[in-house]
């Protein structure tokens, strides 16, 4: 069986690294990914996908990337259960296992 996802998109915001209660460094990376086809109105829709990065991946991405940069994320999808007031909700999240820095917005403006 295989659980692997590859995404390429632009960062929608600068990345902030936080520490969890257990001392693990965590960052949420939000990618804007335009669809490859037009909708019924003749425009391209964009999907916004949030990915979670841990430890050195979170630190490096935060240090070297900023809003507007294009990055590739390779990772896996995992499910999480969130409990609130006896109500359980399961949702999926993307966990980044590798982030590749593809293009900087600063580089594009200089060209």
CATH code of 60's domain? 2.40.50.140
Is position 111 within any domain? no
Task: State pTM to two decimals.
Answer: 0.82
In a domain, 9, yes or no: yes
Within-domain flag for 50: yes
Burial class (CB in 10 A: 0-12, 13-18, 19+), 23: exposed
Measured in residues, the chain has a length of: 111
Residue 41 lies in a domain: yes
Residue 110 lies in a domain: no
Determine, yes or no, domain membership for 80: yes
Tokens of 70: 């294009």
Buried b (16+ CB within 10 A) or exposed e, 29-48: bebeeeeeeeeeeeeeeeee
What pLDDT is attached to residue 85? Answer: 82
Task: Please give the tally of structural domains in the chain.
Answer: 1
Q: Is residue 16 part of a domain?
A: yes
- Per-residue model confidence (pLDDT) at position 108: 56
Mean pLDDT per 10-residue segment, the chain (111 residues):
95 93 93 93 94 95 92 95 87 94 69 53
The verdict on residue 74 lying in a domain is: yes
> Can you tell me the distance from the alpha carbon of 51 to that of 29, in angstroms, rounded to the nearest whole number?
5
């Amino acid at each position: 069986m295989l659980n692997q996802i590859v995404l390429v998109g632009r960062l929608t915001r600068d990345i902030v690294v936080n520490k969890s209660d257990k001392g693990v460094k965590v960052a949420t990376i939000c990618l804007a990914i335009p669809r490859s086809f037009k909708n019924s109105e003749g425009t391209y829709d964009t999907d916004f996908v949030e990915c979670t990065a841990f430890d050195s991946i979170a630190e490096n991405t935060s240090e070297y990337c900023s809003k507007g940069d294009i990055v590739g994320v390779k990772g896996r999808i995992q499910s999480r259960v969130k409990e609130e007031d006896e109500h359980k909700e399961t949702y999926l999240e993307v966990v980044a296992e590798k982030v590749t820095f593809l293009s900087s917005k600063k580089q594009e403006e200089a060209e």
